[in-house]
Homo-oligomer: A and B are copies of this chain.
Amino acid sequence: MENSLYRQAGVDIDAGNRAVELMKSAVQSTYTPAVLAGVGGFGGLFALHDLPAAPVLVSSIDGVGTKVKLAAQLGRWEGIGHDIANHCTDGILVQNARPLFFLDYLATSKLNPVAAAAVVQGMAAACRANGCALIGGETAEMPGVYVEGAFDVAGAIVGLVDRAALLPRLDAMRPGDALLGLPSSGPHTNGYSLIRRVVEGRNLQEALMDNRTLADALLAPHRAYVSEVDQLQRAGILIKGMAHVTGGGILENVPRSLPPQLAARIVTKSWTPPLIFQRLVAWAGIPPQEAYRVFNMGIGMVLMVDADGVDEALLQLPEAVVIGRLVERNAAAEPVQLIG
């Protein structure tokens, strides 16, 4: 975001400058020695180092859906930065890649430097936690393309994995392998079109039974699961595959990491969906089964783990839950069987 942009936008230059400084220092706080900064000020430079035998770059680009609309409405932007960075991180973590660097695109009808700085600070904090450099970004002001007061954010991530460590390992999966669920912090980035419809007219400041407001629960940032996966792998637990529970929920994401001859039998009562999901499902009046397609229902990541490793995994990660197991799948059967 340049001063010239502020001039065009008629933004107060001092406020703009403060925002730029905040963003710069946030971005720089994510730099590792691999980032070659200050070379001409063009593209982000990342020096590859300590490469594995067969290095594979894993990349993904994504947005956070209409959660941005809710954030804009409430003037709470920082969490959106966490959302996009963590969502992208989990998107490549399922292939066992660890993030190297992240780039963001932030566009709006009219530049709001305070909002932009908050989003970037959120992204930077999430990137730091994930060991990822925030290496580049673009801020665009596009009146006539974006609705007044609305903004959108997209992120691109690049990670690295050794080809031999790529997941899922479909050939290694067996009936009896455990499905380990890692808790989400809330709806993450999915189901917000429905969410926005069902909360319309409600007081977003109303307290839920867990003492958070509805707004807090809906804007809780997406979690990344890098440290959890690291911890299990360091403990020698064989993770055969992972499913990031994003659009399509457990029902549509778990099958993406399964071979055709195996199904996931999931016992829904093995965990209690957090209050926010119970409310959303009731307000929306959707059938129980459908809830596991629209929302993550409290499980943000599913790991396929060898049954022998389950006890140790639960010791390592007390918040993890065995939510089901792999079973043989008949040709006509669904890839996910939800058992109440």
Interface residues of A (CB under 8 A from B): 4, 36, 39-48, 51, 54-63, 65-66, 68-69, 91-92, 94-95, 97, 100-101, 103-105, 107, 135-138, 140, 142-147, 150-152, 154, 156, 158-159, 163, 166-168, 193, 196, 248, 252, 256-257
Contact = CB atoms under 8 A, between A and B. Distances in A.
B107 A40 contact: no
A163 B252 CA distance: 43
Contacts of A45: 56-58, 95, 166
A107 B147 contact: no
B48 A57 contact: yes
Given A150-B145, A154-B154, A59 B138 contact: no
B163 A95 contact: no
B60 A105 contact: no
A253 to B, nearest CB: 10
The quantity of this chain's copies bound in the complex is: 2
Contacts of A151: 145
Given A45-B95, A57-B48, A59-B44, A144 B152 contact: no
Given A147-B146, A166-B45, A257 B40 contact: yes
Contacts of A46: 56-59
B60 A103 contact: yes
Nearest to A252: B4
Given A46-B59, A47-B55, A154 B142 contact: no
Nearest to A8: B193
A136 B59 contact: yes
A61 B95 contact: no
B69 A144 contact: yes
A102 to B, nearest CB: 9
Contact of A40 (B56, B69, B95, B252): B95
Given A145-B68, A152-B145, A140 B63 contact: yes
Contacts of A56: 36, 45-48
A246 to B, nearest CB: 11
Nearest to A140: B63
A114 B80 CA distance: 31
Given A105-B105, A105-B154, A146-B150, 13 more contacts: A36-B56, A39-B166, A40-B257, A42-B58, A42-B94, A43-B95, A46-B58, A47-B56, A47-B163, A59-B158, A63-B107, A66-B143, A146-B152
B63 A105 contact: yes
Contacts of A101: 57, 59
Contact of A62 (B36, B138, B167): B138
A216 to B, nearest CB: 22
Contacts of A159: 43
Given A42-B95, A48-B56, A152 B156 contact: no
